[in-house]
Amino acid sequence: MDLIAVHYLQPACSTASYGQVCLPPYQEESRRARAPAPSTTEPQDSWRCVTQADTEPPQFLFCPVRIPGPQLDTTKSYSPLELFQLFFSESVVKTVCDNTNKNREWRKAQGKKTNWFPVSVQEMYRYLSLVVYMGLLRANNMATYWSRHRLYKLAFTESVMPRRRLEAITWTLHMSDPVEDAHNDRKRGSHGYDRLFQL
């Protein structure tokens, strides 16, 4: 074992006080030689030695307005859609629909032509149900979910939405307003540019 390794294995600051940093002995002596006179006041936010015990910060009291836990009526039965709407309310989905339809109009103005008709809130919920379903049931490719082969045929996907419509919504889906996106892009490189605006 070399000399440096021996120095590192030796305790460097068994008597270190608050605010001191643990160093190997040969570095500690060098630091003492060039260090100014110690200050009488100790900094509040500084590194402490590893031999000193941690101080636990005070715990803030958590006082929720409502009773903690699921806010559901246990005497009522809920459909999967009603439970899903606890996380994706109709107002949120309507905003996504509006921005998606605006994005289609913007693309149309750019000369991009696709078979499209405005997406509704109910159709967007069906689209999201397929997204969740495909996340749970993995397939080799998108076409497999609409396969007509007797071994791979999935009745659910075909009953919810045609594949071409799902692909059209996927290509056009937009979370934020395209007009506001363009306004934000003009601020690129400045202080007012928001990189997470589209999210």
Q: What are the pLDDT digits (tens) for 33-71? A: 565 555 555 556 678 888 888 888 888 888 888 887 777
Q: Is 166 exposed, middle or buried (0-12, 13-18, 19+ CB in 10 A)?
A: buried
Q: What is the mean pLDDT of residues 126-135?
A: 95
pLDDT for 164:
93
One-letter amino acid at 178 equals P
Measure the CA–CA gap between 6 and 135, rounded to whole angstroms. 55
Mean of the per-residue pLDDT values for the chain?
Answer: 79
Look at 193 and 35; give whichever has higher pLDDT: 193
- The counts of H helices and E strands in the chain are 8, 0
Domain ranges across the chain: 89-109+118-185
